[in-house]
Amino acid sequence: MQILINAKISPEHLDKIRAGFPGVEVLQAESAAEAVRLAQQAEVIVTWGHNFREEFLASPSLRWIHALSAGVEGLLLPPVVEGRILLSNSSGIHGIPIAEHTFALFLSFSRGLYRFGKYQAEKRWQRDVPLSELRGKTLGIVGLGRIGLEVARLGNAFGMRVLGVKRNPGQPPEGVNRVVSMEGLELVLKESDFLVLTVPLTPETRGLIGAKELALMKPTAILVNVARGETVDEAALAEALKNGVIAGAGLDVFATEPLPADSPLWQLDNCIITPHCAAQSPQYMSRATDLFCRNLDAYIKGEALPTLVNPQRGY
């Protein structure tokens, strides 16, 4: 069996895969052209969604694609959707850094850090800034996967009331006070002081938050998006921030990345922009390698892949 690593992975992590599976040939491409050549013999391709090339699909031996990210919208190609090629992702490894990034954004607003940074650049000593606490506030989490549950855990640590939105709600998981389906999103929008989006991008979640939804939120509410940029109508959000419909937004993801220079979001003092980096962590690739090895072990044994993607759902 040949595995093509279509990504930059350190020798340490490559060696870990090779040591765990001595009968498997693990190859790493150094260029796009080499990746296309090596893919022709590969049974498994490990890749980021953004650098997967459709030429890889010409490989007669390709049986499985493993994404190093959780989002797989760029990999839902016809052979995958039709079930001819398996697709797995790295769901579950992002919870800690993304949840911490989410709370960094929450605290930047509640403790006024987004204002103080500007004042420091102006050498301006100004103390009359409205500050607040997270304790006692309502946290709404749209998407209760592993990232959402880690956000909920931190919300509990800060003494927040936690509401969740989930496709199939069932009983509230530990640390979540109430869970509703997507049909109950309106309730969560109305009650949340802090709202975070952690959903995958699917037809159901594309454009999930627009002018209508923003108008339901409190004028003091903060919106954080660490999901996918296309889940939010950015033009409507910019207008809502400009006109005080909501108090602020922390955005790590955008419909077009990098965010175009002419986006009105750049000009808004009550919008914090981070460059799609919420998942970054020194531990990321170690976790991703461990998870791939778990999937590879299952694949070799003919068992179900732990993070197998349902192409119809998109996650």
Q: Is 313 part of a structural domain of the chain? A: no
Listing DSSP states for 134-179 in one string gives STT-EEEEE--SHHHHHHHHHHHHTT-EEEEE-SS--SPPTT-SEE
Looking from the CA of 226 toward its CB, the CA atoms found within 13 Å total 30
Active site residue 257: yes
pLDDT at 112: 98
pLDDT at 149: 98
Active site residue 37: no
Token digits for 301? 């044994």
**pLDDT (tens digit per residue) in 257-291:** 999 999 999 999 999 999 999 999 999 999 999 99
From 146, 191, 228, 234, the catalytic residue: 228
pLDDT at 180: 98
Tally the domains of the chain.
Answer: 2
Domain span including residue 288: 2-93+282-301
Give the pTM: 0.94
Low-confidence ranges of the chain (pLDDT < 50): none
pLDDT at 220: 99
Active site residue 228: yes
What is the H or E stretch that residue 186 is in? helix 185-191
79 and 209 within one domain: no
Q: Is 116 part of a structural domain of the chain? A: yes
From 12, 25, 257, 303, the catalytic residue: 257
286 and 139 within one domain: no
Q: What CATH number is given to the structural domain containing 7?
A: 3.40.50.720
pLDDT at 265: 99
102 and 57 within one domain: no
From 206, 276, 287, 294, the catalytic residue: 276
